[in-house]
């Protein structure tokens, strides 16, 4: 993963020379794989991704149960995290809004949630069209890592959270030991090859392991959260650390 001595601004897809170009490249990549995004997510993770969404939603059961709670799922993609939050909320009926800057991804999200109360908005996570202190919970699953500026992303999340509101960032990590060795072989060699074969698009699945390697290690990420202003920052590893949930409060 990223060298703790090197300050990484954010995601840097191949050919991107600045944050604006990085954001554009990420949007184009995800738009290109939108038609098979769900199939490949489940297949390449052996369906463990469903467990991660479920565990994350369960972690925020208290926030979801608050009367008239407002929830924002950032970088929502095709809506799986937002749907997991919706199912966990049950009869509590919070207002859940998903935001993403890929129109193609949001189209898939709308199709999957047609019989729910979920709402979707096309928006950039670094420049959200919401007033300060608008939400009780802001979540993001496997999308924060793709932001062109991690610190700016944290600041924007903090801005739209209400006092006492919570943040949850679910994203990939790199496990250690034997599991880590096996994981790296799969993640860097097998996954890109299979993903490219089934999607017909090579860029996104070569970018994925590189983006995880570039992403800050848990200690650095927690430091960044504290520096942004979050209190009680914590990290909970999932499945030997292949993924993990970062949490913090405003």
- How do the domains of the chain map onto residue ranges? 19-174+217-249
- Residues 173, 242 contacting (CB under 8 angstroms): yes
Quick one: pLDDT band at residue 55, thresholds 50, 70, 90? very high
Quick one: pLDDT band at residue 146, thresholds 50, 70, 90? very high
Q: What is the pLDDT of residues 198-246, one digit of tens each?
A: 888 878 888 888 899 999 999 999 999 999 999 999 999 999 999 999 9
**Is the model more confident about 37 or about 85?**
85
Q: What is the pLDDT of residues 56-79, one digit of tens each?
A: 999 999 999 998 999 999 999 999
Q: What is the pLDDT of residues 114-133, one digit of tens each?
A: 999 999 999 999 999 999 99
- Residues 85, 114 contacting (CB under 8 angstroms): no
**Is the model more confident about 220 or about 4?**
220
pLDDT at res. 30: 86
pLDDT at res. 3: 47
DSSP 103-156: HHHHHHHHHHTTTS--EEEE-BTTB-SS-SS-EEEEEEES-GGG-S-HHHHHHH
- Is 4's pLDDT higher than 60? no
pTM as predicted: 0.92
Quick one: pLDDT band at residue 49, thresholds 50, 70, 90? very high
Look up residue 147 and give its two tokens.
């932001």
Judged on CB neighbours under 10 Å (0-12, 13-18, 19+), 249 is middle
- Top CATH class of 19-174+217-249 equals alpha beta
- CA dist 238 and 138 (Å) reads 20
Look up residue 113 and give its two tokens.
């949630």
Strand 70-74 relative to strand 135-141, pairing: parallel
pLDDT at res. 1: 46
- Is 174's pLDDT higher than 80? yes
């Amino acid at each position: 993963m990223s060298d703790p001595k090197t300050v990484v601004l954010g995601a840097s897809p191949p050919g991107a020379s600045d944050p604006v170009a990085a954001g554009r490249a990420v949007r184009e990549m995800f738009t290109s794989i939108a038609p098979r995004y769900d199939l490949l997510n489940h297949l390449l993770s052996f369906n463990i991704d469903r467990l991660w969404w479920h565990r994350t939603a369960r972690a925020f059961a208290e926030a979801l149960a608050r009367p008239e709670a407002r929830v924002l799922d950032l970088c929502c993609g095709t809506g799986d995290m937002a749907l997991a939050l919706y199912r966990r909320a049950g009869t509590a009926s919070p207002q859940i809004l998903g935001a993403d800057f890929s129109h193609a991804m949001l189209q898939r999200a709308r199709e999957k949630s047609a019989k729910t109360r979920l709402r979707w908005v096309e928006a950039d996570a670094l420049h959200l069209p919401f007033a300060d202190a608008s939400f009780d919970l802001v979540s993001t699953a496997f999308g924060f890592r793709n932001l062109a500026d991690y610190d700016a992303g944290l600041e924007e999340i903090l801005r739209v959270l209400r006092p006492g509101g919570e943040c949850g960032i679910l994203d990939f990590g790199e496990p250690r030991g034997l599991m880590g060795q096996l994981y790296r072989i799969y993640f860097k060699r097998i996954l890109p090859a299979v993903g490219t074969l089934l999607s017909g698009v090579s860029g996104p699945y070569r970018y994925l392991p590189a983006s995880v390697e570039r992403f800050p290690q848990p200690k650095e990420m927690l430091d960044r959260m504290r520096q942004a202003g979050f209190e009680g920052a914590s990290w909970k590893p999932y499945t030997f650390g292949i993924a993990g949930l970062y949490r913090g409060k405003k």
